[in-house]
Chain A
Amino acid sequence: MTDKPEDKLPSIEQIADLLIDIACELMTSGAHTMRILQNVSRMAESYGYKLDLSVFQLSIMMTITSKDDESKRLTLNRKTKPLLINYKFVSNLSSLSWDTYDKHLTYKEVKERFHEIISEKRVSRWLILILVSFANASFCGLFKGDIYAVGLVFIATLIGFFVRQEMMIRHVNHLVIYASSAFIAGLIAGMGYIFHLGNTPEIALASCVLYHTPGVPLINSVLDIIEGHILTGISRLVNASSLIACTAIGLFSAMLLLGLDKL
């Protein structure tokens, strides 16, 4: 395994495979299109290749052409995994691309570092659960909710977010996850109305589903549209808006169930 000829001169297939894997990983981790394009082209350039990339919501298409020999070219199309935002990957892969460009890392080194980066573990889900609950509770505080409202929102987020995590592990449809998790959180936060807790039950109900805000897809879609990748931008926008709509439907049904004459 040590002295393969490819260590010195990787073939076009190997380079293309590695680059499209990096592009797919960037897409899955939540980078916007321009960043994917720039990172991957930069790496291709350091190996003496030109690169054209089309990014779609579910797949990435790439044509790689040798700069010395125009007849040496290859087109690949690869499916991306569903969005799982991970900014540590985005920033490490971005650094890797600059390092490849500046230090002329060999194919083998890049591949090793790529696998090192993507095998890094995420933060524990329980820590995320607790911190998101605190975050949503302080959201309620920002909207000037009283202590009862803040407590209710904390409990509602704890349960709603836990349900969302459990359903995500079981690969339920995303829209169903958002709607049902918002429904549960809405029902719990609505208890403030039923038992007359505090003076601001309205604020508890308003802030209990805010942990669903799909901020990263929204910001990415605006960046994409402004930078001219309109198709990708619109598909991200539709994705984010359908998640928002499902959250609203969940909250809507919880409010209908609680009875509107009280609200």
Chain B
Amino acid sequence: MTTPEMIQLIIIDGVMAAVTAIGFAISSNPSRKAILISALLAAIGHGMRFVFIQSGMDISVSTFIVATLIGLLSIFFARIIHCPAEVFSFPSLLPMIPGLFAYRTILSLIKFMQSTDSVKNQGFIMDFFHNGMTTLFILLALVVGVSLPVLLFPKLSFSVTRRY
């Protein structure tokens, strides 16, 4: 892949992640500035993960790194607009939810339930565990990664709404 093509793909990826973040941010009713920041964080996060995965890194490791970065950035932005950091963390992580893996997990479970062919069934079990474990690890990486900065800097993250 040439560099301009790659950059174009990253930008498209980031824009779609931003649209996703805006839609899900608004359903938790934050302030307008917070919505824009979640869109920005989502675009940065998903774009970076796209680059990591393209360069051959494992999906759950790259998710963990990006989620930690989003956690740090959200504390930084929280201090600027005086708004708790959790407000951005959920919508900006949302584009990374492993929906496709979760769907494949359910699909292989149904297929396993309905099939009577034991050779095929072994394949379905393998699919179930592969997809299920990937879903679980990505979800864990997301939530643990984003809450790490809150744990590392508790004073900082609880005083962001202080104005003096």
B30 near A256 with CB under 8 A, answer: no
Report how far A44 CA is from B132 CA in the complex, Å: 46
Q: Check if B29 is an interface residue, CB within 8 A of chain A.
A: yes
Q: Check if B151 is an interface residue, CB within 8 A of chain A.
A: yes
Listed from nearest, the 4 A-B pairs whose CB atoms lie closest are A135-B23, A206-B103, A87-B30, A94-B161
B84 near A123 with CB under 8 A, answer: no
- Of B13, B20, B162, most buried by chain A (CB within 10 Å of CB) is B20
Chain B residues whose CB sits within 8 angstroms of the CB of A134 once the complex forms: 19, 23
Chain B residues whose CB sits within 8 angstroms of the CB of A97 once the complex forms: 161
Evaluate whether A143 and B161 lie within 8 angstroms (CB atoms) in the complex, with A134-B23, A255-B107, A256-B110 already known. Answer: no
Give residues 200-239 of A contacting B (CB, 8 Å): 202-203, 205-207, 210-211, 213, 215-216, 218-220, 222-223, 226-227
Closest A residue by C-beta to B115: A260
B16 near A142 with CB under 8 A, answer: yes
A87 near B100 with CB under 8 A, answer: no
Query: Looking at chain B, what size class is its interface with the partner chain?
Result: 35 or more
Closest A residue by C-beta to B103: A206
Q: Check if A263 is an interface residue, CB within 8 A of chain B.
A: yes
Q: List 13 A-B contacts (CB under 8 A).
A: A87-B84, A87-B86, A88-B29, A95-B82, A98-B161, A131-B26, A132-B27, A139-B20, A142-B17, A203-B100, A211-B24, A219-B147, A223-B86
- Of A132, A139, A220, most buried by chain B (CB within 10 Å of CB) is A139
